[in-house]
């Protein structure tokens, strides 16, 4: 903004392109988004939908003091900003209670370090912003409906992505933003744009467009079930995550460490994994436990 330029283009119409556009508008810019695809046909619309600001963002060995400081500032700003969207129609953002459930044999091992030999990811959320989440609550066997298991409750911020994407788009358009469908094959294609100041929000597309090999793919797969408005709580059990999204329940195998799906750019659905996710959560509700 210091250059005085006010006619700005954003390349990409996922969560980050739309958010960049809105922030630019609030700073007084006139914004056009150019993108090959728009929601719901972007990867952002396929996310799990939880606020997870340190998820695979940085290896511990690269988390310098300066990076930690910047990350903390960004995470606190993000957390504060999303709270301005609580209570809106369609609940684009809401808080849920989340219950981590362990079988007795797994409970004693839950804090032991992973056997994975690869360098660990930085755990910035617990280290730097644990004050933002209410304290966890432990429930011993007998004090909850899951039999002899151990249960730990915390709360988390959840995004109902259908409502959230619509809100981003309608706010962007209401501020006189424009969205044009356009594909760029090389950076030289940007010369055809009227705007000379561009924000790159192409997500994983940056790899092909800019040859940016530093963008690492992470495979994840959701199994979705029809919405059940009476279910308001999340679950973690045996490396499966369940999120009670209003726009459809989410079941996801998350693996036993952050390298699950890391550097895997395949997108073919795996039905066996989807069934495993649903059946693992269903297993919590069988009588024998």
Choose the stretch contacting ligand FAD; rule: CB under 6 A; options: 21-29, 64-72, 121-129, 198-206: 198-206
Choose the stretch contacting ligand FAD; rule: CB under 6 A; options: 62-70, 98-106, 124-132, 202-210: 202-210
Helix or strand holding residue 77 (H, E): helix 65-82
Choose the stretch contacting ligand FAD; rule: CB under 6 A; options: 21-29, 72-80, 201-209, 273-281: 201-209
Roughly how many angstroms between the first and final C-alpha of the chain, as a whole number?
60
For ligand FAD, the closer CB: 125 or 153: 125
Q: State in angstroms the smallest separation of the CB of 112 from ligand FAD.
A: 26
- Angle at CA of residue 43, ends 46 and 198, nearest 5°: 145
β-sheet bridge partners, residue 139: 151
Choose the stretch contacting ligand FAD; rule: CB under 6 A; options: 13-21, 104-112, 141-149, 231-239: 13-21
- Angle at CA of residue 88, ends 252 and 53, nearest 5°: 40
> Would you count residue 46 as binding ligand FAD (CB under 6 A)?
yes
For ligand FAD, the closer CB: 101 or 169: 169
Which of 38, 83, 45 lies closest to 177 in space, CA to CA?
38
For ligand FAD, the closer CB: 99 or 251: 251
How far apart CA 286 and CA 151 sit, in angstroms, is 16
Contact 154, 136 (CB under 8 A): yes
Q: State in angstroms the smallest separation of the CB of 85 from ligand FAD.
A: 15
How far apart CA 117 and CA 66 sit, in angstroms, is 26
> Would you count residue 161 as binding ligand FAD (CB under 6 A)?
no
Contact 171, 185 (CB under 8 A): no
How far apart CA 18 and CA 30 sit, in angstroms, is 13
> Would you count residue 124 as binding ligand FAD (CB under 6 A)?
no
For ligand FAD, the closer CB: 47 or 133: 47
Give CA 275 to chain center in angstroms.
Answer: 22
Q: State in angstroms the smallest separation of the CB of 279 from ligand FAD.
A: 19
Determine phi and psi for 132, rounding to 5 degrees: -75, -20
> Would you count residue 284 as binding ligand FAD (CB under 6 A)?
no
**What's the number of CA atoms in the CB half-sphere (13 Å) around residue 216?**
11
Among 203, 231, 239, 278, binds ligand FAD (CB under 6 A): 203
> Would you count residue 57 as binding ligand FAD (CB under 6 A)?
no
> Would you count residue 14 as binding ligand FAD (CB under 6 A)?
yes
Which of 210, 204, 229 lies closest to 47 in space, CA to CA?
204
> Would you count residue 44 as binding ligand FAD (CB under 6 A)?
yes
Applying CB under 6 A, the residues found at the interface with ligand FAD are 11-17, 35-37, 42-44, 46-50, 52, 183-184, 201-205, 209, 220, 222
């Amino acid at each position: 903004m210091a250059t005085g330029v006010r006619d700005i283009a954003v390349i990409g119409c996922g969560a980050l392109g739309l958010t960049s556009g809105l922030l630019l508008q609030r700073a007084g810019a006139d914004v056009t988004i150019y993108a090959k695809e728009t929601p719901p046909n972007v990867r952002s619309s396929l996310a799990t939908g939880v606020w997870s600001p340190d998820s695979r963002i940085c290896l511990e060995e690269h988390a310098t003091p300066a990076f930690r400081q910047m990350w903390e500032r960004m995470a606190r700003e993000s957390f504060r900003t999303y709270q301005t969207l609580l209570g809106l129609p369609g609940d684009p953002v809401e808080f849920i209670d989340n219950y981590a459930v362990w079988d007795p044999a797994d409970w004693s091992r839950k804090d032991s370090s992973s056997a994975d030999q690869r360098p660990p990811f930085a755990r910035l959320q617990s280290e730097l912003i644990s004050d933002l989440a209410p304290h966890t609550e432990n429930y011993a066997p007998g004090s909850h409906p899951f039999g002899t298991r151990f249960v730990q409750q915390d709360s988390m911020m959840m995004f109902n992505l259908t409502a959230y994407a619509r809100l981003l788009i309608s706010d962007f358009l209401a501020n006189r933003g424009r969205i044009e469908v356009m594909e760029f094959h090389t950076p030289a294609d940007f010369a055809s744009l009227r705007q000379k100041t561009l924000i790159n929000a192409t997500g994983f597309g940056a790899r092909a467009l800019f040859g940016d090999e530093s963008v690492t793919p992470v495979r994840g797969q959701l199994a979705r079930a029809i919405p059940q408005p009476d279910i308001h709580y999340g679950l973690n059990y045996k490396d499966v995550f369940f999120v009670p999204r209003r726009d459809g329940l989410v079941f996801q195998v998350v693996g036993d460490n952050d390298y699950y799906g890391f550097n895997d750019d395949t997108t073919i659905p795996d039905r066996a994994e989807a069934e495993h996710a649903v059946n693992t959560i269903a297993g919590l509700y069988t009588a024998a436990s």
